[in-house]
Amino acid sequence: MIISMKLHSSKEEIDQVCERIRDFGYKIHAIEGEERVVIGAVGVGDVTACLESVEAMPQVEKAVRISAPYKFVSKEFHTERSRIRVNGCEIGGDEFIVMAGPCSVESENQIMRAAEGVAACGAKLLRGGAFKPRTSPYDFQGLETEGLKLLAKAKRATGLAIITEVMSDRDVSLVAEYADVLQIGARNMQNFALLKTLGKCGRAVLLKRGMSSTIRELLMSAEYIVAHGNPNVILCERGIRTFETATRNTCDIAAVAVLDELTHLPVILDPSHATGKRSLVPALCRAAVAIGADGLLVEVHPWPEKAVSDGAQSLDLSQFRKMMHDLQPYLDLWKESRVTPATAAV
Amino acid sequence: MIISMKLHSSKEEIDQVCERIRDFGYKIHAIEGEERVVIGAVGVGDVTACLESVEAMPQVEKAVRISAPYKFVSKEFHTERSRIRVNGCEIGGDEFIVMAGPCSVESENQIMRAAEGVAACGAKLLRGGAFKPRTSPYDFQGLETEGLKLLAKAKRATGLAIITEVMSDRDVSLVAEYADVLQIGARNMQNFALLKTLGKCGRAVLLKRGMSSTIRELLMSAEYIVAHGNPNVILCERGIRTFETATRNTCDIAAVAVLDELTHLPVILDPSHATGKRSLVPALCRAAVAIGADGLLVEVHPWPEKAVSDGAQSLDLSQFRKMMHDLQPYLDLWKESRVTPATAAV
Amino acid sequence: MIISMKLHSSKEEIDQVCERIRDFGYKIHAIEGEERVVIGAVGVGDVTACLESVEAMPQVEKAVRISAPYKFVSKEFHTERSRIRVNGCEIGGDEFIVMAGPCSVESENQIMRAAEGVAACGAKLLRGGAFKPRTSPYDFQGLETEGLKLLAKAKRATGLAIITEVMSDRDVSLVAEYADVLQIGARNMQNFALLKTLGKCGRAVLLKRGMSSTIRELLMSAEYIVAHGNPNVILCERGIRTFETATRNTCDIAAVAVLDELTHLPVILDPSHATGKRSLVPALCRAAVAIGADGLLVEVHPWPEKAVSDGAQSLDLSQFRKMMHDLQPYLDLWKESRVTPATAAV
Amino acid sequence: MIISMKLHSSKEEIDQVCERIRDFGYKIHAIEGEERVVIGAVGVGDVTACLESVEAMPQVEKAVRISAPYKFVSKEFHTERSRIRVNGCEIGGDEFIVMAGPCSVESENQIMRAAEGVAACGAKLLRGGAFKPRTSPYDFQGLETEGLKLLAKAKRATGLAIITEVMSDRDVSLVAEYADVLQIGARNMQNFALLKTLGKCGRAVLLKRGMSSTIRELLMSAEYIVAHGNPNVILCERGIRTFETATRNTCDIAAVAVLDELTHLPVILDPSHATGKRSLVPALCRAAVAIGADGLLVEVHPWPEKAVSDGAQSLDLSQFRKMMHDLQPYLDLWKESRVTPATAAV
């Protein structure tokens, strides 16, 4: 920790702050500058509690932690890339993984056509929401258990693994019966009751970044799940909320590269929510592959104009096929760089 | 709805869109401009589904709804101000209501001192978290049931009503046993499972605005609670997330005035989270009273430097006393304007 | 400065960094933590250059400055409130100053009616744009010199001081002939060529906060003007750009209180641009007075529906009269607190 | 235009609005919904003035324009991609163009080494600032004319074209003597005096997106330059300002794809300012190529740790060489798609 005192603090005030820090088990190095005193504190203790306490003291200008607040998910302590096995494929490994399917499970016909279509183009997981978080109470809320059963049927027919959202800690065990990967939506990234329950379920978790969450907060939420017992967490960048309205969200593509420096967990991109617009999806997918994401989560619907949700950002099956085809040369480059990683450039 | 077609759409394409809209039960008015065709749709139908469907059609440029997506919480349909009775006082009525207390319930001594102190200065509700949403899994998570019991004890001793946070639908009935008002934190504003459960509990709810939620989304979340059966919702502005780092959040003070135009629900301000800095709290409180909020939610701790959370933004008891004293002339003006409201100026 | 090294830096790498810092004239205090080394640097030198250089070194994790980057405008070095005299009134003194008038000067009749109207209600300065920054090249760009002359005529008729915008360093001397206060718009807050020229003009400057500028950047831009020779700078909060679209901008009301802690310069609020909506202006004005701003900049037009710009956020003359009347009791409280300031509460 | 009336507007109020719109030369289509009346206006007139006027009327809820506010830069009116010839190369054509060099011109040795180094790796333009916009008045402000002369010398030695920033309309003709492309920084994107002057200079312009400017505003600023006579405008995405602090700005990579749909002007990406961190630059460059940008603007310094500005985000020459080498297979794919564009997928 670095604690910066206010200008003109007295010796007595500085001593009080130092004593407080020592009470938390830290060693002190006070630095007297021309204008003010800065205190460095090192050691092992309850950093957050110490920071909170010191910041509340009247003569303290600012208190800043130096070490990262997460451990399990940090690359500093676990340098090798995590590989998460799901239904015979590996996320974070040597294959780029595409997860695709409709926003919501709507009917047997819809989900079966979607599953067959995306499987034929190389997707490894089928997405589809049975529990739907909707801004309005009057909108379609999902088929719930009925939807989960339809996903299971699609899995049996196609061999695709299933990824589907869970919105409440109450539903975790139910959804885990049917899903291979439990998806946590952006609005629930800091639903800590849910995160703790996920720590104890036996399923991989795909954790979407909250729409106004920092990268650090995303990692802290992943840390919750891992610290509670579940190391199989996949991170997902899906766009953040900014002032720009030309796209539904602003895709923070650099977050993929930042996360690659900070964590060993796999990172995938959701170009559908990031843009909200079907015509932009293929371009974003190319960028995601080129920047080194581990996979994609793409909305695909057999008949987007009939979708009950997110139709405008869903590809239809022929558009998805074309996109996967056009993506192939980029996937080849991805594969090459993954198998023989460049020696770090910078 | 207003649907704007892309440039150079053919007559056939326009007809397809019109037909789709009619299928949802709307009447059509197509307007042929110099450059493009715009379609107006009026009637009663499933607006969201229709918009979703039409927006997914390839020749549609944009589809916009005109009517507000909420009904129960709208001032258009219920012009009189809602008054929410809690433990003998009324929020949204003729008294400005101050809710105060520590971030977390930490110990009996702490919560009793806080309760006595804020009661003596005119607060009507005691705040204090028993369940704590914390960014890090390693931080203090609250005393849980033990904390609820301490709040109940403080209520018996002081007569203050209790407001405390609930983080999961699982805990709603437990917390409702002890609390007069259930607080929903910013991170849970769109935890729809939780919102639905709150609709069925018998307690008033204080709904905090999400840190990147629009005013419209806040109203939609309130609509969830009301539509599921609970009309006693209090809204709370607590700052939004922006690029500015001088304050913990950016207090959107105008939201109080905007909400006053849009909804009959009471609106209060949380100056502690909005600023994150004790020294700014009194100034924000004056602004909240002057702009016409219905109350305040203020963090007060008997010994802020010993607080396990939010010490830097907590007033101590003597600071709170001074603030309440200095606020009095503003409260007198508030009272006057509330009892004899000015005829609308503009 | 505080420099935090990367994990596992070698002794040699740390020494290189220390040496670099010493080259800039600083003294070094290295602190060895459990995980990493942190270096404190104190002394007087070219902080920015040193930070830039050190941050570019590969083993440096982060480099942070401790001291504020501004001097002239800081309260730390000039504790007394600056009072800026303009045409017989004082901004930052014991009177709350209202500046009012139309967005653009449109015609003699319009500006004369506006000037008479706002003067009659107690405004001390007349605002009105002769040079207009417009997003579109096809929009009205202002009457330019002709507009300045009309402002001068309005000044002669009413005695009001004139505040008007200057958009280019080329026009500073022209505008300074007619204006008492030169207004710098949000889009030009970091037009450094303009700021330097303002440092040498003999007029007071009203500097609007850029729509995505931090409070620190606003102070740095003020520092430019003062450092180049002109101490008469008034700061103006006019809303920042966020994700919220219910208002034109998001009024960062807390910035007024933050600035009061950081600088001795006067701070005023522009509720018209902050909200973009006439009906919200009176509420924001009350909040500005209560929080302790030094004045207001309000858009008022004799016939808002005929305004060539910003009509929707302009009050008409009777609305302005009513607002000023309703504001009076708040102004009385303001006056009281300014003349006998409370002993600091916290 | 679409004008939505407030609920319960009277027939008379609606008629007044219709009449006002007709005064501006538009035809009216009023649509009576269940809840409110919506008015469509078509024709050719002064849209902005009409919108402003109508929005200021008390019974109008909202007024929205349908047509894009820009013409010259729009793809709707000029479908073919603009190719801008500069010093023998073509931006927006069949070659991906790399512009590289230091943030500031610091000395002859520095700029010559930089120029030779980037030329050897395939860059076509040399960047380097002679006039520097700096947040602080105490920071290095650039070598000005002396810097321009050094750039000219580097051009003679290497054949590279020169791109350098101009900050004031006063300096346009001076900088145009030395530069092939005039760079407009993010802070000046809406410096309209400067934009108008650029319209009349004989040089290509690289217009950087303002850090809180929407894509639409960027296009409007480009429209200023083109409407004033200069069609040679290159757009540059360089990151926008958001709440995320892990990177210096947030790279809005999707903006490249959005702009490709909206405009025929070339679009390049600046990965250095977008991230602020050297180690992230190569990843962003791959993404930019894959998404289909027309080029890159990259900061490269022979000795980043000695840079007077932006050292932390500058590549050194060997890092730049490696990056260009690793980029080659992506450039091959880019070339292929540009020469034989895929038939539009969606």
Q: What is the block-wise mean pLDDT of chain A (346 residues), using blocks of 10 residues?
A: 84 90 85 78 80 86 80 88 95 97 97 98 98 89 96 98 96 97 97 96 96 96 95 98 96 98 97 96 98 98 91 95 98 92 51
Give the class (CATH, top level) of A2-64. Answer: alpha beta
Q: What pLDDT is stored for residue C342 in this prediction?
A: 54
Token readout for C167 is 């958009």
Task: Check CB contact under 8 Å for C284 and B252.
Answer: no
Q: Residue A212's closest chain C neighbor by CA?
A: C243
Mutation site for B-interface testing, chosen from D243, D248, D249, D250 by largest number of B Cβ within 10 Å: D243
Instruction: List the beta bridge partners of residue C64.
Output: C2
CA C304 to chain CA mean position, Å: 26
The low-confidence residues of chain D, meaning pLDDT below 50, are 344-346
Q: Which has the minimum average pLDDT: B58-72, C8-22, C299-313?
A: B58-72
The full set of domain ranges for chain C reads 2-64, 84-339
Tell me which CATH code domain C84-339 carries: 3.20.20.70
User: Which of the four pLDDT bands, split at 50, 70 and 90, describes residue B45?
Assistant: confident
Distance CA C308, CA B90 (A): 46
Distance CA C167, CA D188 (A): 11
Q: How far is the alpha carbon of A237 from chain D, nearest alpha carbon, in Å?
A: 13
Neighbours of chain D (3+ CB pairs under 8 A): A, B, C
Find chain C residues with C-beta within 8 A of A4's C-beta: 66
Distance CA B313, CA B299 (A): 7
Instruction: Report the percent of chain B where pLDDT is more than 70.
Output: 98
Token readout for C78 is 């000039």
CB D237 within 8 A of CB C152: no
Task: Check CB contact under 8 Å for A216 and D246.
Answer: yes
> With 90 as the cut, is the pLDDT of residue B62 above it?
no
Q: Quickly tell me which residue has 């250089």 as its tokens.
A: C53
Find chain A residues with C-beta within 8 A of C76's C-beta: 7
Q: Quickly tell me which residue has 């209560």 as its tokens.
A: C290
Task: Check CB contact under 8 Å for B48 and A139.
Answer: yes
Question: CA-CA distances (angstroms) from residue C149 to A163, B230, C112, C220?
Answer: 69, 62, 12, 33
Residue D257, number of CB atoms within 10 A of its CB: 25
- pLDDT tens-digit readout, B238-271: 999 999 999 999 999 999 999 999 999 999 999 9
Distance CA D297, CA D91 (A): 12
Distance CA A71, CA B137 (A): 11
Task: Check CB contact under 8 Å for B212 and C274.
Answer: no
Identity of the residue in A260, A282, A290 whose CB atom sits nearest the CB atom of D289? A290
Q: What pLDDT is stored for residue C166 in this prediction?
A: 97
Mutation site for D-interface testing, chosen from C57, C189, C190, C220 by largest number of D Cβ within 10 Å: C190
Q: What is the mean pLDDT of chain A?
A: 92
Task: Check CB contact under 8 Å for A40 and C29.
Answer: yes
Q: Which has the minimum average pLDDT: B231-245, C16-30, C151-165, C205-219?
A: C16-30
SS3 content of chain A, % helix, strand, coil (to 5): 40, 20, 40
Identity of the residue in A250, A279, A345 whose CB atom sits nearest the CB atom of D250? A250
Of residues D123 and B346, the one with the higher pLDDT is D123
Distance CA C175, CA B94 (A): 51
- pLDDT tens-digit readout, B166-181: 999 999 999 999 999 9
Task: Check CB contact under 8 Å for C171 and D193.
Answer: yes
Residue ranges in chain C assigned as alpha helix (H): 11-23, 47-55, 108-120, 145-158, 172-178, 192-200, 215-227, 254-262, 271-275, 281-291, 317-339
Find chain B residues with C-beta within 8 A of C292's C-beta: 283, 286
> With 60 as the cut, is the pLDDT of residue C175 above it?
yes
Identity of the residue in B133, B212, B304 whose CB atom sits nearest the CB atom of A211? B212
Answer whether C2-64 and C84-339 agree in fold: no
Distance CA A69, CA A83 (A): 23
Distance CA B310, CA C10 (A): 37
Q: How far is the alpha carbon of B204 from chain D, nearest alpha carbon, in Å?
A: 30
| Residue C315 CB partners (closer than 8 Å, separation 6+) | B346, C278, C281, C298, C299, C300, C301, C304, C323
C199 CB-side CA count, 13 A = 17
Find chain A residues with C-beta within 8 A of C67's C-beta: 33, 35-36
> With 70 as the cut, is the pLDDT of residue C341 above it?
no
What ipTM describes this predicted complex?
0.92
Handedness of CA C20, C26, C29, C33 (dihedral sign): negative
Largest CA distance in chain B: 76
Identity of the residue in A243, A260, A322 whose CB atom sits nearest the CB atom of D214? A243
Q: Are strands C37-42 and C27-32 parallel, antiparallel or unpaired?
A: antiparallel
Token readout for C45 is 């030198």
Q: What pLDDT is stored for residue A51 in this prediction?
A: 86
Residue ranges in D121-241 assigned as alpha helix (H): 145-158, 172-178, 192-200, 215-227
User: Which of the four pLDDT bands, split at 50, 70 and 90, describes residue B208?
Assistant: very high
Q: What pLDDT is stored for residue D56 in this prediction?
A: 86
Burial class (CB in 10 A: 0-12, 13-18, 19+), D6: middle
Residue ranges in chain B assigned as alpha helix (H): 11-23, 47-55, 108-120, 145-158, 172-178, 192-200, 215-227, 254-262, 271-275, 281-291, 317-339
Q: What pLDDT is stored for residue D138 in this prediction?
A: 87
Q: Report helix, strand or coil for D101.
A: strand
Task: Check CB contact under 8 Å for D312 and C212.
Answer: no
Q: How far is the alpha carbon of B345 from chain A, nearest alpha carbon, in Å?
A: 31
> With 80 as the cut, is the pLDDT of residue B299 above it?
yes
Q: Residue B214's closest chain C neighbor by CA?
A: C244
Burial D168-192 (b: 16+ CB within 10 A, else e): bbbbbebbbebbbbbbbbbbbbbbb
- pLDDT tens-digit readout, C305-333: 888 888 889 999 999 999 999 999 999 99
Q: What is the dihedral of CA A141, A147, A151, A152, to 10 degrees?
A: 150
Task: Check CB contact under 8 Å for A312 and B56.
Answer: yes
Task: Check CB contact under 8 Å for B253 and C251.
Answer: yes
User: Which of the four pLDDT bands, split at 50, 70 and 90, describes residue B320?
Assistant: very high
Q: Report helix, strand or coil for D332.
A: helix
Q: How far is the alpha carbon of C232 from chain D, nearest alpha carbon, in Å?
A: 17
Instruction: List the beta bridge partners of residue A98.
Output: A296
Mutation site for C-interface testing, chosen from A26, A31, A247 by largest number of C Cβ within 10 Å: A31
Of residues A240 and B38, the one with the higher pLDDT is A240
Q: What pLDDT is stored for residue D66 in this prediction?
A: 73
Amino acid at A191: N
Q: What pLDDT is stored for residue D345 in this prediction?
A: 44
Chain A residues in contact with chain C using a Cβ-Cβ cutoff of 8 Å? 2, 4, 7, 29, 31-36, 38, 40, 42-44, 58, 64, 66-67, 76, 212, 241-243, 245
Q: What pLDDT is stored for residue C96 in this prediction?
A: 98
Q: What pLDDT is stored for residue C346 in this prediction?
A: 47
Q: For chains A and C, count residue pairs whose Cβ atoms are closer than 8 Å.
A: 59
